Amino acid sequence: MGIVPAELSSTELSAIRGAFLDFVGDPFFQSVAESVRYLPDGLLVLKDGTIADFGPYDQLQAKYGKVKTTHYPDKLILPGFIDIHIHYPQTEMIASYGAQLMEWLETYTFPTEAKFKDTVYARHIAEFFLDELLRNGTTTALVLPTTFPQSVEVLFEEAQRRNMRLIAGQVLMSRNAPEDLLTPAQTAYSQMREQIQKWHGKGRSLYAITPRFAVTCTEEELQLAGSLAAEFPEVYVHTHLAENKKEVALTAELFPDRSDYLNVYEHYGLVRDRAVFAHCIQLDESAFERLSQAGATIAFCPTSNLFLGSGLFPLHQAKHTEHPIKVGLATDVGGGTSFSQLQTMAAAYQVMQLQGKSLSPFQAFYLATLGAAQSLSLEDKLGNFAIAKEADFIVLDAQATPLMQLRNPVPVPQSIEAIATTLFAIMLLGDDRAITATYVGGALTTKL
């Protein structure tokens, strides 16, 4: 997607005025001055779904004075949130009681996912899911459907109807799950090839080769996934890695020739740039170094890790100065307990506190915006208000509830120090109620 040259375009400019916050660097490695951009009164100029101009209102006012402008005087405008790991079929089983990963999969997850054989049902949940993302200010997600090709089709179709940039791909499982959810490796391989041709790069859709995790995949299946990943280097790889101790032990039993869990995926050529590994809790330092060298990404899923009792993700190890790993924030619904990236940031902060570390509000918001875009190699298209990027953004209300009003008496402070305090309160106290509006491709999707 690019900007249509002015002389060819029949569409008009429009603009948004308000307080804008985004990132131009990485607040884990750069100072606030270098990484955070805050315009207490800014103007975002839109054209054909992309950003045509951006800057302080007083500087752009003369040039765009006649452009139709929507003004949000007491609100904060941020890039849309990006959720880099979420399961759409698990929407309806969020908050299922009392189990850790392997029992939770057997008891709740697999029976729920079996329902997605029914296309009508799958579409109904896909629609609910995408609308729920938008209600929560999430404009892009890396999504797992199920092993049924129809569950992939309806998700892409509904995402396209909403003009959302979305990444997904058929879930691969050929063992260690109920029979009705298994697909023979060769069949899945052919289905994936067709889906890549049909969906990857069509509109805003992108494809991900998605072996669920090593436990449910045979060697043949991982080998086929790896050869597809080599054939289509611009397609994503998406899976789970080292979430839970029982899962790690079972993987070691199933793949006795591999040196560790990550080595299973390495062996089949699945660890590379554009490969996203959810969780990565039970990994040693060598695995972190190898993920860094490969240019792979970790999805940090704090609400899920707490809910399923999986453990505490060592974000500080991933953000190591010598071997940094790309990390994006993720809800992992339905293991995760909220669609809200604000609630997910709050959990991330608490996970770091439990490890004697911290997470600044700028770092937290970065992980769900520019950092997430970089973790998906989409920083040329998404993540901040740079000119020519796609115009996905959200309008945040720092006073969305009586308690938030009390805590944030000034909704839009002027200084960057003060905005840090406001953002921290928003991420701890906020949820979908704090999302006043969500814009996708320059168009408003939620009610004002």
Query: Residues interacting with ligand GUN, by CB under 6 A?
Result: 87, 101, 105, 109, 212-213, 240, 243, 304, 332, 335
Q: How many Cβ atoms are within 10 Å of 116's Cβ, its own excluded?
A: 25
Tokens of 78: 């941020």
Nearer to ligand GUN, 153 or 332 (CB): 332
- Beta pairing, strands 165-168 & 138-144: parallel
- Which range touches Zn ion (CB under 5 A), out of 212-220, 221-229, 328-336, 350-358? 328-336
Q: Which is nearer to ligand GUN, 250 or 416 (CB)?
A: 250
Q: Which is nearer to Zn ion, 22 or 332 (CB)?
A: 332
* Residue 158 is a binding residue for Zn ion (CB under 5 A): no
* Least distance between Zn ion and beta carbon 31 (Å): 34
Residue the block writes with tokens 């779904």? 49
Q: How far is the CB of 252 from ligand GUN (least distance, A)?
A: 16
- The nearest distance, CB 270 to ligand GUN, in angstroms, is 15
Phi/psi of residue 326, each to 5°? -70, 130
Q: What are the tokens at 309?
A: 């009792």
Residues in a beta bridge with 79 = 393
CA pseudo-torsion sign 163, 165, 170, 171: negative
Comparison of 334 and 361: residue with beta carbon closer to ligand GUN:
334
154 binds, among ligand GUN, Zn ion, none (CB under 5 to 8 A by kind): none
Is 243 a binder of Zn ion (CB under 5 A)? no
Minimum distance of ligand GUN from residue 200's CB (angstroms): 23
- State the minimum distance, in angstroms, from the CB of residue 396 to ligand GUN: 28
Binding mask 249-288 for Zn ion (x = CB under 5 A): -----------------------------x----------
Smallest distance from Zn ion to CB 240, Å: 6
CA dihedral 127, 299, 183, 245 (to 10 degrees): -130
What gap in Å lies between CA 15 and CA 53, rounded to an integer? 9
Residue in the structure block whose two tokens are 């600044």: 360
Residues contacting residue 220 through CB under 8 Å, at least 6 positions apart: 174, 185
Which positions ≥6 away from 392 have C-beta within 8 Å?
Answer: 79, 80, 139, 140, 165, 382, 439, 440, 441
Q: Which is nearer to Zn ion, 50 or 176 (CB)?
A: 176
Contact between 247 and Zn ion (CB under 5 A)?
A: no
Question: Minimum distance from CB of 426 to ligand GUN (Å)?
Answer: 26
What six digits make up the tokens of 435?
């999302």
Select from 241, 268, 233, 264 the least CA-distant residue to 377: 233
Question: Residue 109 binds what, of ligand GUN, Zn ion, none (CB under 5 to 8 Å, by partner type)?
Answer: ligand GUN
Q: Which does 243 bind (CB under 5 to 8 A by kind): Zn ion, ligand GUN, none?
A: ligand GUN
Return the DSSP state at 270: -
Minimum gap (Å) between residue 87 Cβ and ligand GUN = 5
Residue number of the CB closest to ligand GUN reads 335
Is 332 a residue that touches Zn ion (CB under 5 A)?
A: yes
Decide which of Zn ion, ligand GUN, none touches 212; Cβ closer than 5 to 8 Å per partner kind.
ligand GUN
Select the binding partner of residue 101 from ligand GUN, Zn ion, none (C-beta < 5 to 8 A, by kind).
ligand GUN
CA distances from 348 to 305, 337, 421 (A): 10, 13, 17
Window of 3-11, 65-73, 331-339, 420-428 that interacts with Zn ion by CB under 5 A: 331-339
What sign does the dihedral 275-277-282-285 (CA atoms) show? positive
| β-strand partners of 390 | 50
- Cβ-Cβ contacts under 8 Å for 402 (sequence gap 6 or more): none
Say how many residues touch Zn ion, by CB under 5 A: 2
Q: CB under 5 to 8 A by kind: which of ligand GUN, Zn ion, none does 261 bind?
A: none
Classify residue 400 by its DSSP letter: S
Query: What is the largest distance, in Å, between two alpha-carbon atoms of the chain?
Result: 68
Residue placing its CB nearer to ligand GUN in the complex, 303 or 375:
303
Sites of contact with Zn ion (CB under 5 A): 278, 332
